[in-house]
């Protein structure tokens, strides 16, 4: 099924804040779905979650952390051993290399501790802005908005942004969401993306913000156009009635 087009205009700021307030009420206990017991485990889990699901990562990390419970242990791991454990997470060779190198850098540069500052986090192997934002917001309670595929999609569909890049989307959300709620807001959008605002087709009929969101009209128009095209195609495919058949009718 073709993708539903994103809105071409941002909604007014006051409407955007109403949408976010509803999402906050809908997902009051929103938090990361990744399982972890300390900053090191979360950091590794987020790196593994790229192009994978949290559920798949959660199935993988218990074995990984049992064998490599600390950065010191992982830093000394053989890459092929790590690859065998994380293979189901996808891109396992690059991810194995990254988490081993990341662990080495934690040991060599940070005494085995995960830093809380963005610059230091993003300097680690396998860590980009999104991963750094997740770690900062979840384990250090720092104001940060992580933009993953769910946040990118939902923010566009709600009319909160027209950003072309994750960084653009992040800036637009930061301008709307009060700073003290930055670390919670991306969880609202992630949960909404998983439960209702799905790809490729959102469940607008059961969405708590459907009266404020611009996407239901876009969806209805898109589905209506497809229905008309389908009907036209079906009519064209029908065999022509013969003259004798017309007379009998």
Contact 30, 184 (CB under 8 A): yes
Burial of 26 (0-12, 13-18, 19+ CB in 10 A): middle
Phi, psi of 22 (to 5 degrees): -65, -40
Per the annotation, the verdict on 130 as an active-site residue is: yes
| Catalytic-labelled residue, pool 148, 168, 172, 181 | 148
- C-alpha span between 169 and 3 (Å, rounded): 19
Contact 169, 152 (CB under 8 A): yes
Reported in sequence order, the residue ranges of 15-104 that DSSP labels E, i.e. its strands, are none
What are the residues whose beta carbons fall under 8 Å from the beta carbon of 205, sequence distance 6 or more?
A: none
Joined tokens for residue 57:
């990562």
- C-alpha span between 228 and 114 (Å, rounded): 56
Per the annotation, the verdict on 148 as an active-site residue is: yes
| Catalytic-labelled residue, pool 66, 130, 168, 217 | 130
Active site residues per annotation: 130, 148
């Amino acid at each position: 099924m073709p993708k539903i087009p994103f809105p071409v205009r941002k909604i007014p700021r006051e409407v955007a804040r109403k949408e976010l307030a509803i999402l906050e009420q809908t997902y009051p206990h929103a938090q990361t779905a990744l399982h972890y017991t300390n900053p090191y485990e979360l950091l590794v889990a987020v790196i593994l979650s790229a192009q994978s699901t949290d559920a798949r990562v959660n199935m993988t990390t218990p074995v990984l952390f049992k064998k490599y419970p600390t950065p010191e242990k992982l830093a000394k791991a053989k890459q092929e051993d790590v690859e065998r454990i994380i293979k189901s997470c996808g891109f396992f060779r690059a991810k194995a290399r990254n988490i081993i190198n990341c662990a080495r850098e934690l040991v060599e540069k940070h005494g085995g501790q995960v830093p809380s500052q963005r610059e230091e986090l993003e300097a680690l192997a396998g860590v980009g802005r999104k991963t750094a934002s997740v770690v900062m917001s979840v384990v250090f309670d720092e104001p940060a908005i992580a933009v993953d595929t769910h946040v990118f999609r939902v923010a566009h569909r709600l009319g909160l942004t027209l950003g072309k890049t994750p960084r653009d989307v992040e800036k637009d959300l930061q301008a709307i969401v009060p700073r003290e709620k930055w670390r919670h807001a991306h969880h609202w959008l992630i949960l909404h993306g998983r439960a209702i605002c799905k790809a490729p087709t959102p469940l607008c009929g059961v969405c708590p913000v459907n009266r404020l969101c611009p996407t239901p009209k876009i969806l209805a128009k898109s589905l209506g156009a497809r229905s008309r095209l389908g009907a036209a195609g079906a009519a064209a495919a029908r065999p022509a009635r013969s003259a004798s058949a017309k007379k009998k009718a």
